[in-house]
Amino acid sequence: MERIKMTTPLVEMDGDEMTRIIWQSIKDKLITPFVELKTEYYDLGLKNRDKTDDSVTVDAANAIKKYGVGVKCATITPNAQRVEEYGLKKMWKSPNGTIRAILDGTVFRAPVTVRGIKPSVSTWEKPITIARHAYGDIYKNSEIKVSGGAKAEIVVTDSKGDEHRKLIHDFSGDGVVMGMHNTDESISSFARACFNFALSQKQDIWFSTKDTISKTYDHRFKDIFAEIFENEYKDAFEKAGIEYFYTLIDDAVARVIRSKGGFIWACKNYDGDVMSDMIATAFGSLAMMTSVLVSPDGKYEYEAAHGTVTRHYYRHLKGEPTSTNSVATIFAWSGALRKRAELDNLPKLLEFADRLEHATINTIESGIMTKDLLGLSSLANKKGVETMEFLDAVAARLAN
């Protein structure tokens, strides 16, 4: 059989631990037998990040800027224990943080759904995608503990040196104060990434904040979204037959629970942090959550939402069997190949991406699954298999 050809290289970012093992096997068993894989390879494994003083991460991000599409394996974000374990020169920053900062992107997370695993919310028929703003608010705040008798104020010194003050609170007893910010530039990027993604998925997009209470801060988000939508996206949305819908965060929560799913929910940083865990858990398992970073100028980076599954890796090193779920990593590959196919107009590659996803889903729906899904699945004939047995079962379906 002739293998499918590619024209532009995919930016491939290898990673760590159990997901690094799965990464190689996905390529060997599921992709290279069918596709003449063309990638520009960057080894983001912790050893190589240390060896290159982390320049490999920056190079990979710049390659995504150049080519437009990347696929990334989960990577270790080092802490003190990892510095010792790997004898690192320093505690390198999170690769995802570095890549996100360079691409200025928004992260979209969506669950892979399969027959036999019902969401906890019985009305949900289709996946819900969370778009999380990844800059500012409480994640870049300044906080102070204050004592009774203290007066807290916001002071903003403008470029001319003039001070603008606003009272926060006169404290009669002890308490706490917090200051946070966001920028029009970052909010605008977030809005454009959301609208572009909605168009590419042909799905409605909802956005929610608490603008009735936060009449300046949250209201700024609402206004920027509305302005960008009116001026740049309204016509394209009409043509695509999709909608932009703004509502209060509490109203959004109620509507999400009553909905059938099948839309994108854009959230501010904190809301997105909390709601993406809620959505992942309600749909089943973190191991089934896909994740894609989209930049405002339309560059895409695909990955799994979970980490390197360290506990399973240590078992693997001891020669013990593992049952690590590879679905989110397979979908990172299929998502990246599909996007490459769309951009380069390669119908055969597009069809392969669909086939790979169907083979994966059909394997689980036929009752073959990793052990994390066993307790969730209602199938009568379900069988828990090891990491490689699952990949082999998908490969067998693909070959048919």
- Phi and psi of 225, rounded to 5°? -60, -45
Minimum CB–partner distance for residue 337 and Mg ion (Å)? 28
Note whether 77 binds Mg ion by CB under 5 A.
no
CB of 193 to ligand NAP, least distance (A): 18
Write the binding mask 39 to 78 for ligand NAP: x where contact by CB under 6 A, - elsewhere: -----------------------------------xxxx-
Least distance (Å) between residue 273 CB and Mg ion: 4
Look at residue 372 and give the partner it binds from Mg ion, ligand NAP, none, a contact being a CB closer than 5 to 8 Å depending on partner kind: ligand NAP
Task: Give the SS3 label for residue 259.
Answer: coil
> Is 276 an interacting residue with respect to ligand NAP (CB under 6 A)?
no
Cβ(284)–Cβ(373) below 8 Å: yes
* Using rule CB under 5 A, residue 365 touches Mg ion: no
Contact 354, 331 (CB under 8 A): no
C-alpha span between 88 and 165 (Å, rounded): 46
In terms of Cα–Cα distance, which of 329, 325, 328 is closest to 370? 325
212, exposed or middle or buried, with CB in 10 Å at 0-12, 13-18, 19+?
exposed
273 near Mg ion (CB under 5 A): yes
H or E element in which residue 107 lies: strand 106-111
Cα(291)–Cα(368) distance, integer angstroms: 24
x/- map, 306-335, ligand NAP, by CB under 6 A: xxxxxx------------xx----------
Name which of residues 73 to 112 contact ligand NAP (CB under 6 A): 74-77, 96
- Select the residue interacting with ligand NAP from 99, 131, 264, 287 (CB under 6 A): 287
Minimum distance from CB of 390 to ligand NAP (Å)? 10
User: Which residues from 361-390 bind ligand NAP, rule CB under 6 A?
Assistant: 372
Contact pick of 110, 264, 286, 293 for ligand NAP (by CB under 6 A): 286
Task: Give the angle 63-108-65 at the CA atoms, nearest 5°.
Answer: 15
Comparing CA positions, the residue from 75, 68, 95, 91 lying closest to residue 14 is 75
Site residues for ligand NAP per CB under 6 A: 74-77, 96, 286-287, 303, 306-311, 324-325, 372
Site residues for Mg ion per CB under 5 A: 273
